[in-house]
Amino acid sequence: MIRVGFICDTFELGGQELGCLALLQRLDRTSFAPYLYTFRPGNLLDQVATLGIPIVVGYNKPPSDRSWTSTDETARLEYLERLAAHLRNDHIDVCIVYAWRDGILAAQAAKVGAIIERVDGIDLGSRIADKSACARIVCEARAVRDVILAQRSILKCRREQMKVIRNGIDLARFNPSRYDREQCRAALGLDSQEFVVGAVSRLAPEKNLELLLRGIEFVVRKFGNREAPLRAVIAGPDGGAQERLIARAARLGITELVQFLPATSEVPQLLRALDAFAITSLYEGVPFALLEAMAMGLPIIATPVGAIPETIDGNGFLVSVMRPGDIGSALQRLRSSVPLHAALADRSRTLSRRYGLKRMVREYEALITSVARPQPAEAASPAHHEL
Give the amino acid at 277.
F
Residues 215, 233 share a domain: yes
pLDDT digits (tens, 9 = 90+) for 233-271: 999 989 889 999 999 999 999 999 999 999 888 999 999
The dihedral formed by the CA atoms of 27, 28, 30 and 34, expressed in degrees to the nearest 10? -10
Examine the domain organization and report whether 140 and 190 are in the same domain: no
Nearest to 38 by CA among 106, 124, 136: 106
Contact 107, 87 (CB under 8 A): yes
Same domain, 202 and 273: yes
Residue 42 lies in a domain: yes
Which residues on adjacent β-strands are paired with residue 4?
Answer: 34, 94
Is 299 in the same domain as 329?
A: yes
What local confidence, expressed as pLDDT, does residue 383 receive? Answer: 45
Query: Domain range for residue 196?
Result: 176-355
Say what the pLDDT of residue 375 is.
52
The residues near 273 (Cβ < 8 Å, ≥ 6 apart) are 181, 184, 185, 187, 188, 190, 196, 198, 233
Same domain, residue pair 71 and 129: yes
CA dist., res. 342 & res. 339, Å (int): 5
Which residue from 92, 103, 104 is spatially nearest to 38, judged by alpha carbons?
103
The predicted model scores a pTM of 0.85
The counts of H helices and E strands in the chain are 15, 13
Q: Is 385 domain-assigned?
A: no
Confidence (pLDDT) at 379: 43
Q: Say how many residues make up the chain.
A: 387
Residue 368 and residue 94 in contact, taking contact as beta carbons nearer than 8 Å: yes
Asked if 57 and 196 sit in the same domain, the reply is no
pLDDT of residue 380: 43
Whether residue 386 is contained in a domain is answered as no
Q: In this structure, is residue 350 part of a structural domain? A: yes
Average pLDDT of adjacent 10-residue blocks, the chain of 387 residues: 95 86 95 96 92 94 86 94 96 95 94 95 86 95 93 95 94 96 96 95 94 97 91 93 96 97 93 98 90 98 94 96 96 96 97 93 96 59 48
Asked if residue 384 belongs to a domain, the reply is no
314 and 360 belong to one structural domain: no
pLDDT at position 265: 86
Output the DSSP codes for 313-349.
Answer: SSSEEE--SS-HHHHHHHHHHHHH-HHHHHHHHHHHH
Helix (H, G, I), strand (E, B) or coil at 155: helix
The pLDDT, as a whole number, for residue 179 is: 97
The tally of domains found in the chain comes to 2
Residues 15 and 137 in one domain: yes
Please, which residues have CB within 8 angstroms of residue 209's CB and are 6 or more apart in sequence? Answer: 199, 201, 203, 234, 241, 245, 280
The CATH number of the domain holding residue 337 is 3.40.50.2000
Residue 371 is predicted with a pLDDT of 95
- 207 plus 135 within the same structural domain: no
